[in-house]
Structures are given as C-alpha cells and as structure tokens.
Chains A and B, each alone.
Chain A
C-alpha cells in the first residue's frame, strides 16, 4: 500500500491537461463566439445576411469587405455563416435536451426499479430503435411542416432510446454491486442511493454520449436542410451547403465554408465529450483484480524477504525453473517485477504444490512455464529447463511446440475456461484433430476420457454447450481436455478453488488417480494448505515473487523452515479449536454493558433507534 495520501485531482483539471480536450475547447469557443455574434447580427441588422452586393457576385475570399468572399447572389459568406450558427445550435440544443430529458430519467427508473416499468420502457426503446429514422423524420415533416422545432424535437425523441439504454445498462451493472445493498442496509433512501452511488457511475458514459449526440444533431439538421427539408425562412449551414452545391460550377469554394463550420463544431463536441469522459472515468473507476492473482501489476509487491536461498535445481529434474524474473509494464514506462527470481524443480511422476498468497507470483510463474504469459508480460531473465533443455533459449515457435507437447494446463475457473460458442465435444476433439488424429478416433478418445472422469453420460455431455453443465462437470471436462494429449506434466492453477468442498474432494481424487495411471508430474498452484496436504509430495512456498522454501510435505507441515511458511501454517484455522458453548449470562452482561455505554455516549442513536 502506498504511503502517500491520495490527491483528489479535480476531473475538470485533469481533462484540461489533455491537449485534444484543449483543442476541443478552442473549437467550441470559436463556435460560441459565432453564436454570440449571430445574436448581435439578429439584433442590429436582421437583414444583413440577405443583403446582396450585385456588383460582387462570387467574390473570392479575401476581397475587401468580404473576408470569405460572396456567394452567387452577391451575399457576404461570413455574415451568413455566422448568422446561420444560431438556428443550427438552437436546433441541436433542442434535440439534445429532449433526448437527455427523456432518456436519463427513464433509464434510471428502468435500471434501478426493474419490473414492469423496465419491460415497457425497454419495449418502447426497441421499437424506436428499429425504425428507419430518417424516413420517420420525413413522415413527421410531411405531416407537421418543416419547422426546425418540430423536426429537432422528433430527432431528440429518436435519440432518447440510445441514452435510455446506455443509462439503463450502467444502472443495471451498478445495481448488482454490493455497495448498493450495503447502502440500503445502512438506511439510505432510493433518492439518496441514486444521487450518491448510481449517478456517479452513469455520468461519464452519458457525457461521452452527449458529445456524440450533439454532433449527430448538428449533422442531421444540416443534412435535412441540405436536401431541402429545412425551414425555408431561416439560414442554416445546411441551406448554405445546399446553395454551395447548386453553385458548384461557378463557385467551388462556397460549400466548403458551412462544411468547415459544421466539422469544427461537431469535432469540438466529440473531443470535449471524450476528454471529460476520460477524466471522469479515471476519477470514478477502481482497479479491481479479477479473481485470484490475475492482475499482478495492480497489486503492490511487498519488499523482498531475506531468507535462505533454495538449493539450485538438480539436473535429474523433469522441469526446473531457475532465477525466473517476469516483468509487467507499470504504466509509466518502467517495469514491475511480479516474479523476482523464482527457483523450483519438479520431479517426474511427483506432485509439487506451489503455495503462496495472492500476488505472490505463483500464477505468473505457472503461466511462464506454460508459455501462456499475456502479451504485455516479459520474461526478463532466468531459465526454464525441460529435460535439461532451456526452453527460453529456443526460438518462440519451437518453444511453443515443445511446451504444448509436454505440459498441459488445468485452469481455476471452470465456467469461464470453456468457449461458450462450441460444444464440449468440439472443444475436446479440436486439440486432437490439430495433432492429426482422425475425426472418429478423436471422438472416441474424448468420449473415453469423459467416462474416465466419472461422467456417467459422456455422449450427452459431448453434445452439450458449456452453459448447460455444472461447475464440477466443467472442471472434469477441463481436466479431460488437459490430459487428452497425454502430457508428461500437468500444471493445475487453483483447480478446485471455485468448487464446493464435496466436489473438490472428488476432483482431487480424480487428479490423484490420473497421475498414477498416466505417470504424470503435477504442479499444483494453490493457496489452500489442506489441498497441498491431500495431494502433494513436495511444497514450494512463494512470497513476493520468490520461492522462500522448498520441502517434502511431511517436513513442511512438521517443521517448516522459513518464517513465512510458519506464518502461513499458523493462520490455518485450528481443527482442534471449537468455540465454547454460548454463555447466556456472560453474553447478556456484555451486551447490557455495551448497550448502556452506547446509549449514553451517542444520543444520535435514537434517531434511527430501536422500537420506533
């Protein structure tokens, strides 16, 4: 844990540090200036934009008095461009307001409350989203006329479902979070929970969407005007675009100006939306490790423990790891070492338990010898010897071939390790087929393996998809898949952690039986010393990226050598200890005492207090 207290950087200040966001701000400032100028023009000289200089048709940009030149009617392009900002921005504001005003509350209600309101709103949103939106806009314009207010309100209504769905999905995700339950139990009302816990999660994605939708509103409105469905009495960028298009033969630059105005405005919305979203998100989200040992970089590594160096591996070992160092980028150009000189050896046909707490580097060590490290990880130094050959000195393709032929992997989480889109049968036969086994032969072998795993109806399981089987069954399937290719080494990463104890004991029995039959060596990565006692011949204890002790199990449990091993063993709940029976009098006395102290010390208590 870092010692420095967190600085509470304001999200807005963080946003301004991003140059793209600053560019967005500058562009927005230009548009807003034009908007202000448009109001001034409308007030001082309402007819200005239509004033024609018949002596200067199609004047080029830079003509004195006409900075951007004139159009084919001799009207000043700049004045028209600025004046058009008003209608365009108002239209966008209308559409956006409608979309947000409808979408956000509906999404909050549907996501938080669920039930029939959610079903009804979701149905409505689905309906609205499966419409040919432009055609519907046209139908509305045909029925109600070309007023910008109407068409932009309609556009807002059509954008609302997207806002609704986004908000609903966000709220849905956060509604399941335990901190919402905790807030309910703490006595917070719905309004307070939404304000304090839900809105925070929703605001970042909504900001981005508002940016995108402002852009959509501007481009759609301009487009409608461009094809001639706009309000003929107002100047907009779309109308100028249309005029420019009509005059393409005589004045090729004319359409560029409104086009440029639109692009720069939309770009400013997008850049700002993006920048603010990123800044808010950084402030809002946590780095949360998924499962045990999965995000090494997010977890600070405790300082190295001085201790006896384990003996270097013996040459007769089947697999040996020597001084392995694995690093991950730390996000600021440097590297974090998650494995910092691990050394261990695995004998043929024996089981080695690799134990340690989360973040100790045991899973990363396992991935390194399985050649399965994520792309961003690098092996910085060390040796991994298989049959005496250093795997790390082999070219990558050959290393992969050797590892896949010899070492198989049983993962931790059974359900997430099966591809949901393919049947169990397909997933079991595919590796065999890749090794040149015929289709019928592969199926027969897969079937036989499932039967060996104690699965009573292998044919049905072969036809099943992963979501149709239980977790215990899935773990049997994964073990079958691992041993299908007759590996000499099985690396099992917490193979029973996600399972119930009764299933766990069956899986451990299964592994023990398979090892004897297939004469495999097993490297068992686990945090559970009971599992180690059940299955392993030897133990290697990892801490802070290093192996601090390697010993045969009976020695380890009887006389652990390293201080950290002793601490681990001491933390195991003692089987002999049973809590003494409840002593009603003692408990009552303690309770009364605490209650008396509580009521006298904290008058606040009565506010939420008992018996009211």
Chain B
C-alpha cells in the first residue's frame, strides 16, 4: 500500500491585482510514494514540482483534489492535525543558508521539533548528539551556530532536523542544488544510506535529472503544472515515453566530450524534425 497518495491535486494562487486570472501552479497531479521508496519529481523552474511538495507539507493551498497519508486524508488538515503529522512527514529544503535560523545554535535547531512535540528540554538536548552522529557531524557541532558551517554541513544539520522526530517520509526540495559537486555527492550518499537503514521514503524534488536518476525508484516528470510522465526510473530515463522527457534528457550535458557531442547531434536532429514546443519570445 502506498504511504502517500496524491490524487488530482490542483494548487491555484490568486492572480496579482483584482482582475488578474488565478495562476495554476499544480494542475491535476496524481502520484504516490510507497513505504521506503524514493519518488523523484523532476521539471524545470515554474513547473510546479516544488509546489507539489509544499502542498503535501501544508505550506501551499490545496484548491481541489486529495492528498492521503497512510490511508487518512491530510489535505484539509487543521493546525493540530498538521502538528501531529510533524512526526511523520518532514522536509529538507534547497537553500541551507535560509533554512536554518542563523541566530540559533545547532543544538537549539535540532531540539526545536522535539520540544514542540512535547519532549522535555533536557531530553531533547540528549538526542542532539545522536542526531548529529546519524548525519556524520561531530558532536561538538551542537554548540556552534549554523552560520559557522559550510553549505554541505548546513544541509547535514537540516537533514538531522528532519530526522529528529523519526518521520516515515521526507520531502526533499532540491536538497543538493545549492551545493558543490563533491558535497552534493556526499549528501546524496547520506540520504541513500539513511533510507537503507531506516526504510524512510523520499519525495525527491529536483531539476537535475542525473541526480534524480541516481536516487529514485520511480520518477515523475512535470511540466507547466502537469505530470507528463510517471514510471520506473529505468523506463523514464532510458526509454522516455514523452517528448518533453526526452528533450530534458538530451539537454542536460554529460561530463564526457565525445558522448556529449553525440548527444548534441541527437538533440539537433530532433529539433529539426520536431516542431520545437518551446516558443521563443518573452514569457
């Protein structure tokens, strides 16, 4: 059975100004995540992929459709219901520089969710060392401020915070796209490792199809608010059914001059035969 089921989700924001048309960020999206599974959600900027994750977290308004978690509906949760969900669904955001309060020590950041869930202060503090250990940070990191850490270390702190309440699902919103290549690699390994050890599930949102391929069991490709393709990682990234997925695959360059040259030729050939769906001009 699926852990998370998203069915016909629509997220619409009111337009700016009174007469402006509402903006549909997510347009009838259906997908699911099973226990211990990673589902990659890939797309370009403005495709609505981040909004799907935020809707699951209750940070974006659900205009219609349903979100079910472990059998129960959560899209119309009250604030108390949301707070109960905090122990089950967590998040790691893209930007490790704004996702941690610069004025708080790492120990404060990590114990915050525990204290909010009702654990005593001392008890919450006691778990900090364990959490740091789980993400590969030394225990003396607890007394330092988030601003003293590098991007990769901050992202480790953010992951530790997400793990504090032992959730079953973590929404990863572009967790490595602000990081350097080698740091990115280490963080991805860490996420995989945590999944192997705890059976946690990820909804992994990214613009980078190479990263998604590395991590996901299944991949959904989004474009202009819609899921254009949803299937196993192998199928989507090797034999894409949708033209846009193929375009996305061919457009992301590979670190090999020969293969990249070949890929470029294929992209051009495809462009010549196809009608380019991306109209040029101001948007």
Interface positions of A (Cβ within 8 A of B): 1-2, 5-6, 177-179, 181-189, 192, 196-197, 200-201, 283-289, 299, 357-358, 454-457, 460-461, 464, 468-471, 473, 500-502, 504-505, 508-509, 527-534, 553-554, 557, 567-575, 577-582, 584, 586-595, 598, 602, 604-605, 607-612
Contacts and interface: CB of A to CB of B under 8 A. Distances in A.
Interface string B10-31: 0000000000000000000000
A394 to B, nearest CB: 36
9 contacts: A182-B93, A187-B85, A187-B116, A187-B165, A464-B282, A528-B253, A530-B252, A534-B264, A579-B38
A358 B180 contact: yes
Most chain-A CB neighbours within 10 Å: which of B34, B166, B214, B217? B166
Contacts of B150: 1, 299
Contact of A608 (B34, B86, B153, B283): B86
Nearest to A577: B214
Interface in B191-221: 196-200, 207-211, 213-218
B63 interface: no
Contacts of A612: 84
B217 A200 contact: no
Contacts of A529: 181, 255
Contact of B123 (A289, A464, A580, A604): A604
A386 B62 CA distance: 59
Given A501-B207, A527-B181, A573-B210, A591 B257 contact: no
Contacts of B158: 182
Given A1-B149, A534-B253, A609 B87 contact: yes
B182 A185 contact: no
B254 interface: yes
A553 to B, nearest CB: 5
A504 B113 CA distance: 40
B18 to A, nearest CB: 12
Contacts of B264: 505, 509, 534
B213 A577 contact: yes
A610 B199 contact: no
B149 A578 contact: no
B283 to A, nearest CB: 4
Contact of A6 (B57, B143, B215, B217): B143
B234 A578 contact: yes
Interface residues of B, number: 108
A470 B89 CA distance: 35
B269 interface: no
Interface string B245-263: 0011011111111111000
B4 interface: no
B267 interface: yes
A187 B253 contact: no
Given A182-B161, A455-B280, A456-B281, A505 B253 contact: yes
A584 B283 CA distance: 43
Given A177-B101, A580-B217, 12 more contacts: A179-B100, A181-B57, A184-B59, A189-B79, A285-B102, A358-B180, A464-B282, A557-B256, A577-B213, A594-B200, A595-B168, A608-B165
Contact of B91 (A185, A568, A584): A185
Given A187-B117, A577-B213, A197 B256 contact: no
Contacts of A504: 251, 253
Contacts of A2: 148
Given A500-B45, A534-B264, A582-B34, A181 B91 contact: yes
Most chain-A CB neighbours within 10 Å: which of B79, B94, B100, B180? B180
Most chain-B CB neighbours within 10 Å: which of A554, A591, A592? A591
A533 B166 contact: no
A42 B56 CA distance: 66
A502 B147 contact: no
B184 to A, nearest CB: 7
A502 B209 CA distance: 12
Given A178-B93, A530-B254, A604-B123, A501 B165 contact: no
B269 to A, nearest CB: 13
A2 to B, nearest CB: 7
A579 B79 CA distance: 37
B272 to A, nearest CB: 13
A185 B89 contact: yes
Contact of B146 (A286, A473, A568): A286
Most chain-B CB neighbours within 10 Å: which of A531, A532, A554, A573? A573
Most chain-B CB neighbours within 10 Å: which of A201, A358, A569, A593? A358
A217 B216 CA distance: 63
Contacts of A554: 257-258
Contacts of B208: 573
A288 B103 CA distance: 12
B237 interface: yes
A539 to B, nearest CB: 10
Contacts of A184: 57-59, 82
B205 to A, nearest CB: 14
A178 B98 CA distance: 5
Given A528-B253, A587-B37, A6 B145 contact: yes
Contacts of A177: 98-99, 101
B144 interface: yes
A501 B99 contact: no
Contacts of B44: 500-502
Nearest to A576: B213
B57 A185 contact: yes
Interface in B215-231: 215-218
A196 to B, nearest CB: 7
A500 B207 contact: yes
Contacts of B134: none
A6 B149 CA distance: 11
Most chain-A CB neighbours within 10 Å: which of B94, B147, B165, B216? B165
B118 to A, nearest CB: 4
B76 interface: no
A6 B35 CA distance: 41
B118 A590 contact: no
A188 B165 contact: no
Contacts of A284: 102-103
A587 B112 contact: no
B113 A571 contact: no
Contacts of B116: 186-189, 192, 608
Most chain-B CB neighbours within 10 Å: which of A178, A188, A357, A574? A178
B67 to A, nearest CB: 15
A357 B178 CA distance: 11
B235 to A, nearest CB: 9
B28 to A, nearest CB: 23
A221 to B, nearest CB: 36
Contacts of B118: 604, 607-608
Nearest to B236: A578
Contacts of B79: 189
Contacts of B252: 501, 530
A502 B247 contact: yes
B282 A473 contact: yes
B165 A179 contact: no
Nearest to A593: B199
Interface string B144-180: 1111111101000010010011101000000000001
